[in-house]
Amino acid sequence: MTTHPTIGVEEEFLLVDPGTGEPVALNRAVADHAATDGVQLQLELTSCQVETATAVSSNLAEIRDHLVRLRTVAARAAEASGARLLAVAVPPAVPHDFPITDNPRYHQIAERFGMVASEQGVCGAHVHVAMPTREAAIRVSNRLRPWLPLLLAVTANSAIYRSADSGYASWRHMLWARWPSAGPPPHFESADEYDAVVAMMQRSGAMLDDGMIYWDVRPSAAFPTIEVRVADVPATIADTVLFTALVRGTVMTLLDDERSRAGLPHLSPLALRAAYWRSARDGLDGMAVDLFESHAPVPARELLDRLVEHITPALTAVGDTELVRDELARLDAQGNGAIRQQASWRRRHEVLDVIEDAAAATLAGTSGQGE
């Protein structure tokens, strides 16, 4: 089994008005307040979003500590700026569109991509896992593709949008898929082929630059890692820790599969697209498409059990097995973000109920906060 690779996590958050729950264009003010607490927040495409990034970590205890501090500081900075921090993947309440952050590159993206950019306002989470080489990252990416829809289902956290039930567990996925450079990457035979495809997409105008490689898994341009980007931002810190554990365990397992030249399942683009749609629609408590055997719908939770069984040697190697089992039991009892959003909505069909519950979940596990 591969030695313990280091990990890092990025989370994107929405800034909303404390009274109405609608997005507010305050990311610069929030970032300035956070900087006084020693936390550097990334400004996203729309000015109602901020992003945090953990330090490089060797274990999940470190990741949890970083996430607690980052969410705490970001929430405090939001409050000081007249906003509220939400770990939701789309805004439950939306006025019209989203102001673009005042940045030359972001303005260029907005001009080229129109409403795809101005209606963005979606929040994801990205897990980085250290890789021995860039070529290895691309090979592992190929093997990860059949599991990406399931990882989306596990983290789904965007059921309520524009003060309505979207009918999907992850409406973020449906919005994000409009970008020409988003979704699952193609199967690549080599790093050279990867670079050639990226260059072609830039020449065509479908990407402005390397920063617009929005695929759900990619070799990082800045770090010696594979970056798994398929997730909605999870509702809670515990959900993000579980997602991180699953990603690292899966990447470690697939790297060993690559080294042993284990077979790859035949994966048609249409089957993968169908699996994504089903996972975005149903989430964790519905059906998923089995891309390894029958291509038939199976309970998502059953497919998740198969993934955990497959990666258990890796989880054991890094000491994450018990944590993953405990967190899966918690998910069975409490649900993930989408399940909780839908439950909040169904109580009274009031979007502020969804926002209040999401705000509490955002800080669950931090000092003085609970579910």
Q: Looking at the predicted structure, is the pLDDT value of residue 61 above 70?
A: yes
Taking each helix axis as running N to C, give the angle between helix 269-282 and helix 148-155, from 0 to 180 degrees, rounded to the nearest 10.
10
What pLDDT, on the 0 to 100 scale, is given for residue 369? 59
Are the CB atoms for 239 and 337 separated by under 8 Å? yes
Could you tell me which CATH number the domain at 7-362 has? 3.30.590.20
Q: Could you give the CA distance from residue 70 to residue 68 in angstroms, rounded to a whole number?
A: 6
**What pTM does this model have?**
0.96
Find, among 189, 211, 191, the residue nearest to 201 by Cα: 211
Dihedral over alpha carbons 171, 175, 178, 180 (to 10 degrees): -90
Q: Looking at the predicted structure, is the pLDDT value of residue 252 above 70?
A: yes
Find, among 307, 177, 288, 184, the residue nearest to 242 by Cα: 307
23-117-14 Cα angle (round to 5): 25
Average pLDDT over residues 22-33: 96
Are the CB atoms for 21 and 95 separated by under 8 Å? no
What pLDDT, on the 0 to 100 scale, is given for residue 371? 47
Residue boundaries of the structural domains of the chain: 7-362
Q: Looking at the predicted structure, is the pLDDT value of residue 5 above 90?
A: yes
Are the CB atoms for 158 and 166 separated by under 8 Å? yes
Give the model confidence (pLDDT) of 70-129 as tens digits: 999 999 999 999 999 999 999 999 766 678 888 999 999 999 999 898 877 899 999 999
